[in-house]
Homo-oligomer: A and B are copies of this chain.
């Protein structure tokens, strides 16, 4: 069954304590290449049958009204998950 991915990230100006904690810990584990980390949410919405434009629009509306808090978060991506990544995870 096809899935729609919705990615939600904290707005750039919002403090991200989790991201700060991670970027502080990374060098201690030898990961020195990263100067910043931000943590957001990733949703996979399963759709019965085909993903039509109307369903994609429903996903966009659900993303902006229910899956994110527009005061502190941005919806940065809403797209149909390519089927091959299905095989990768199986």
Contacts and interface: CB of A to CB of B under 8 A. Distances in A.
Most B Cβ at <10 Å: residue of A22, A31, A48, A66? A31
A37 B44 contact: yes
A88 interface: yes
Contacts of A38: 43-44, 46
Interface string A35-55: 111111111111110000011
Chain A's interface size range is 35 or more
B44 A9 contact: yes
Interface of A: 1, 4, 7-9, 12, 19, 22, 25-26, 29, 31-48, 54-55, 58-59, 61-62, 65-67, 74, 76-77, 85, 88-89
B85 A76 contact: yes
